[in-house]
Structure 1
């Protein structure tokens, strides 16, 4: 299993055209949990199978492979994605420093597939690249939704 944690500033420039708030980020993460396809380029399909109090269970498809996840909500602070067929988790934390600057921290703790043809180190490097792109795409998609009035 490998773990990666990366924090990215939500509003890196004060001159930014669209400034995101905690509420924007939270609503965007809820939208991502319900349908991640606009947020994660490699995801082909995403559908909710079950809803409960502060959680949902969904089926996702990436490169033709289907899997299920439980998504747990910690309102306005964190969303946790847990694969149901393997060990690991993905956390999306909304953080704020002492000056009120928001960041989003994505933490991934995932097992290396047994049939992975790469070494664990190469697998981790590839996944870090993919997940960093997913973090950036998530923020860009949320920003677009705010500009378009969807959030």
Structure 2
């Protein structure tokens, strides 16, 4: 399955809205890499197994399901989560890119590629629409968590 969409971060037309900087947005994405629990409901543990230049290897525990993934990134630009396929998980990747078509107009582009088939006649195909909807809601929630992180940092 392939799925991508944009989430607006800063609404420049609304002067009352609190704008995030690229750095605050990036910091929030790094928080998601370091400890994904606030970003993924049901995630019980997020353990960093290895660190390298621009890379993390993690183990995520959702109850009895364990997912291993690799996080790679380019600072202030994009972050990618690549998960291994398991019997409980189709595997795939998610890339989150920061886009700024004009100064201060920040967007997050979420690009998903999974092993889930989109053929309309298959069980996976019927499930794909549900998965896309869940991903979209999760991405909106990601921005909410990043805003909470940024706001808590501003209070110090």
TM-score norm. by structure 2 comes to 0.84
Select which of 109, 122, 125 maps to 1:105.
109
Shift of 1:63: 4.7
Matches within 5 A, 1:22-101: 22-85=22-85, 88-98=92-102, 100-101=104-105
How many residue pairs align between the two structures?
146
What's 1:135 paired with? 139
Structure 1 vs Structure 2 CA RMSD: 2.1
The superposition leaves residues 88-130 of structure 1 with CA deviations (integer Å, 9 ceiling, x where unpaired) of 21101111114541100111100128xxxx7222221111111
Q: Given that residues 18 and 143 in structure 1 are in contact (C-alpha distance below 8 angstroms), is that contact kept between their aligned partners in structure 2?
A: no
Deviates more, 1:13-22 or 1:44-53: 13-22
Q: Tell me if structure 1 keeps the 8 A contact 2:32–2:39.
A: yes
1:78–1:94: 8 Å Cα contact kept in structure 2?
yes
CA distance in 2, matches of 1:134, 1:64: 22
Residues 36-92 of structure 1: per-residue CA shift (max 9 Å, x gap): 110122323211111001100000123531010000011111001111346521101
Unaligned runs of 5+ in 1: none
Structure label with greater radius of gyration: 2
**TM-score of the two chains, using structure 1 as the length reference:** 0.86
Conserved 8 A contact 2:10-2:104: no
Distance 2:16 2:95 in 1: 26
Cα 1:130–1:62 shift into 2, 3 Å: farther
